[in-house]
Structure 1
């Protein structure tokens, strides 16, 4: 007789997901292989997710709901599961980012996470903790769903020109990433500017930072150090950083000129004949 792996649904969102999957599957009288046949995966994968050895995806969760008639249960749980795979210090920020109505961010080194392609994000996240790469990549891509929701936040991104030249993942990855940035020209709620090298010293020289505004909550300022994030609603910090961000907006290229620069770098540095 096969030994059933015990599950503690209170241990983590992933354990709870596995517990509910097993419970719903057994309630339908299905073995792991039978459910796998229905949702086009292996029974082994079902077993690995039930026992928390694999991280489910959003697509997998949606197929589960359809197959088991669970009224969107797993589609709701997957957000919690994926968020729990983020570094502990980043989880609070991800939760606030998902609720913000206005996001203003200056990025000195990398393309902002909500605008990253999967290949670019994989290269960035693969630098450290490669054993967690797939889970964290899925979590980062899931964060981007906020841009496609019914009422997306207004997102204003200022990228330092260095982000266009820092070759992440190779030339093909960078070319695709810059092409992705150009697509946002047609998005009503996303504004993108590039801060050119010619500006010299500026109010973002202390590093990347983000200001988030909410419908009914105080504004939040967020920045990162090497191994942790820092969030504050201190009014003085919000005032100073908001003024600093306004200065960056004034010194950065216009959205139109920023797009022209991105297109030029894409062709001249990452094109077929750089």
Structure 2
């Protein structure tokens, strides 16, 4: 049975997406079953997305744009939809992250979100057992679209060596994740350093943090905890952040030596050569 529940497009980005999908489908003279046949999916799935009871994916949105010849409008709407699935306290950071021209991050526990594989992200996000895990994973993968821009931000990552050894998900998940990190070797836009155990005490012992730089806006520093995130452009906090980050970079292995360490851990701990 098709679902024709009325929608309020202004209720949320997801509702707006569903209303647009219905409007475009009807303008093309198709019912839900016919559109489903074009997209190789069920009429039920079309109905769920049109009534905002299911979050669309990027492949689905691309298929809709191709089938209905909508010039990429559904893919463009998808970014708004998936950003709305992020925790409310994280959405302001995600918006600033998408605008940044330079991102510096120090991570003590896990790989930075923009570099995570889907399997690794699912394991990380699934640790607190959220009800909307699928949507959170899709939203994290959508954030990574900034890496595919014609002019992506420059991303500099310092990872504590513990991140390489902590098994997130499974050994296969870790092998794929480390292989993903190695795939950035030689790329200008992403630079990865590892802070080795031998570094001892260092300025990052208080925890992970991110620094964002923009063409026009002030720099910001971001930290988070188990409940929410904290973002500030306070000059003293930002200056302290850059000072600590420069010291972490100095204590970390070079980009080349970091890649060698990642490769060695991948082979010795997770049983495969890159």
- Bin of the TM-score, shorter chain as denominator length: over 0.9
Give how far 1:2 is off: 7.1
Give how far 1:4 is off: 2.8
Aligned to 2:133: 133
Does 1:61 pair with 2:61?
yes
Alignment RMSD, CA only? 1.5
Give how far 1:272 is off: 5.9
Correspondences of 1:144-163 after superposition (within 5 Å): 144-163=144-163
Distance 1:131 1:48 in 2: 17
Q: 1:14 to 1:2 in 2, by over 3 A?
A: closer
Aligned to 1:207: 207
Does 1:7 pair with 2:26?
no
Aligned to 2:78: 78
Aligned to 1:98: 98
Aligned to 1:258: 258
Give how far 1:69 is off: 2.5
Give how far 1:231 is off: 0.5
Distance 2:4 2:33 in 1: 15
Correspondences of 1:107-186 after superposition (within 5 Å): 107-186=107-186
Does 1:46 pair with 2:46?
yes
Give how far 1:186 is off: 2.0
Distance 1:194 1:165 in 2: 12
Give how far 1:3 is off: 7.0
Please, what TM-score do these two structures have when normalized by structure 2? Answer: 0.96
Structure 1: gaps of 5 or more residues: none
Corresponding pairs, count: 273
Structure 2: gaps of 5 or more residues: none
Q: Secondary structure at the match of 2:91?
A: helix
Distance 1:6 1:268 in 2: 57
Give how far 1:136 is off: 0.7
